[in-house]
Each structure stands twice: as structure tokens, then as C-alpha cells.
A = this chain, B = another copy of it.
Amino acid sequence: VAASSAVDADQLLEAAQGGDRAAVARLLTMVERGGDAAAAVDRVAFGQSGRACTVGLTGAPGAGKSTLVSGMIGVARRAGHRVGVLAVDPSSPFTGGAILGDRVRMGDHALDDGVFIRSMATRGHLGGLAVATPQAARVLDAAGCDRVVIETVGVGQVEVEVAGEADITVVVVNPGWGDAVQANKAGLMEIADLFVINKADRTGTAETRADLEQMLALSQGDRPGGGRPAGIVTTIATTGEGVAEAWSAVEAAAEDLRTTGVLDARRRARTEAELHRVLGARLAEQVADLAGGEAFRDALDEVQGRRLAPWDAADRLVRLGRVPGDG
């Protein structure tokens, strides 16, 4: 299975690089599934990725992220970029929440071959979205997207983690008391490179900006790998107002991180964190393999009968467990 996955992945990536959208979709599905298929895809995509700038975009549900991303895609396309979008919804294993956003955006970009939009689901991937998302971004990168937007649907722990896996992190808030405070509570002050106050035609925009500035001043120096303080821009995504400026701010922040060496430091730190996570995911797959087997049932019977302690049972199973890649 592993060998045929590898051949598949190789051929699929070649097809994807030639513009075959179905091949991109199949590669992403393999990544979502995890296990040997995901490893096979990453084996071929990893070496051919690293060119794209990845942009994480997060914010509370209803902040207008989908409309903003749709507008940003348009701006990036006019600048000649090929754009991949991963819409990540940790709360929905079947992408229910994300699909709605897709439809909004697909309406604008459905006929554009330079745009690839995908809702990410875990489909039982034991490493979860935190493991699958960077791999999926690499597939889009290797397939020729030089800008990859990773959009998450909320501001929970997983969303913040996923959004922080990008080169640049954009946090979308709305005017009004409390939104900035929520962003602070969720740990977004530490990871944001840019705040977009969307729906800036509403009252409270100036106050929200002031709140953000104050909290940014307090959290300075906390950001991983350093980098300049987060910028703040205002948009009205529904009319397009400020969207080009917001995208320019993203590009400028990326350029700044690149020239100061911060981007490289961040990528190194991310790679190390990813290796830890992938290692954990591989071992978790071992647990799942072991737990599904006869040896696990036998050990469990002995534990239930109090003849074997759980730790001894675990050690026996680990000794029996096959190592991925050996078979």
C-alpha cells in the first residue's frame, strides 16, 4: 500500500503541477486521511514546496472572513499570484461550517484556474488539523500556488494554533466593545501580524482600534521569532473598501519579515514543532493499530481481571507493536 501510494503521489503531483485540479483535490484528500498515504504525499510535496507565502486568517464566526478572503483573492490574482485557500473548521469533521463560506467565495472565483479553494476536514487523521494543515499548504505550494491562505472559522485553541502555522497571521475583528478583548483572551495578540477591523462602517471602529493598540503595546515582545508590532487596517469587505490596502499590508508584512530574517527563524521553529507533532501522530497511529488488535483485547482482559497493571499492559503492547515503515 505504501509503495503504491508513493507512485500515486508522484504522478498526482506532476498532474497537479500541470494544472489538473482533480489531482490537487486527490492529494489533499490523501493528506486529510493521514497515515501512509499522507506520508507518501508529503514525501513528494515537501521537497518541492517552500516557495509560497502562507497567510493564516482567523477571527470570530461572523466577522466577515470569507468575504474578506474572497476580496483578497481578487487583489492577489490581479497582482499575478496563484492563490490556494484552505478553509479549516475544527468544530466540524465534515466541513459543514466551512462549506457555506466556500460557496460565497466560489461564486466569485469558480471560473478562475489560478484559484484553488478547499475545505479541510480531518477524516480521522490522528494528528488532527494541526498536523494535516501544514501538509495541505505544502501540496498547494508544490502545485504552484505562490500565495496560500489558511482561513479558520473561529478563535478556539485549535484555530489559533492552525492560524499560527502560517508565515503571516491576520486576525479579523469587528468594531464594538469586547471583540478586541476576546482576541486578547484567545492569545491572538501574540500571533497576529496584522489586525483587520472589518465592517468598519459600523460604530465603534475608532474605539476598537484604540483597544487593539493598547493591548498590542502591552503584549509587545511576546511574539515568536520577533518581528515588528502588528499593523491595524480597516475594511468593509462587502463593498471592497480597504481590501486592496489590507492585502498590501499582508504583502508588506511578509516582505518585512523576510528581509529581517524573522520569517526564516519562524519557519525553523515551525519545522521543529511540526516534527514533534508528526512524531506524536505516528506514535498515535501505533496506539490505534495496537488498540484495534487481538493483543490489546487479551491485555485488556488481564487488566480487567486485575492480573496485569495498565502500565505493564501498555509496555507489553508497545514491545509487540509494529513500527510504521517496517512492514
Contact = CB atoms under 8 A, between A and B. Distances in A.
Interface of A: 38-39, 42-43, 45-47, 50, 268, 271-272, 274-276, 278-284, 286-287, 290-291, 296, 299-300, 303-304, 306-307, 309-315, 317-319, 323-326
A278 B43 contact: no
A315 B271 contact: no
A39 B313 CA distance: 10
A304 B268 contact: yes
Which of A274, A281, A314, A325 gathers the greatest number of chain B CB atoms within 10 Å?
A314
A271 B308 CA distance: 11
A286 B276 CA distance: 11
The prevalent SS among residues of A at the interface is: helix
Contacts of A278: 310-311, 313-314
Nearest to A279: B314
15 contacts: A42-B310, A45-B309, A47-B306, A271-B304, A271-B310, A272-B300, A275-B303, A276-B287, A278-B311, A279-B291, A279-B313, A279-B318, A281-B314, A283-B286, A318-B323
A173 B83 CA distance: 51
Contact of A311 (B38, B271, B306, B312): B38
B300 A275 contact: yes
Which of A39, A46, A304, A309 gathers the greatest number of chain B CB atoms within 10 Å?
A309
Given A283-B287, A311-B282, A325 B319 contact: yes
Contact of A315 (B282, B296, B310): B282
Given A268-B304, A280-B287, 6 more contacts: A42-B309, A42-B310, A271-B300, A275-B299, A282-B315, A318-B324
Contacts of A272: 300
A309 B47 contact: yes
A241 B39 CA distance: 62
Which of A276, A311, A314, A319 gathers the greatest number of chain B CB atoms within 10 Å?
A311
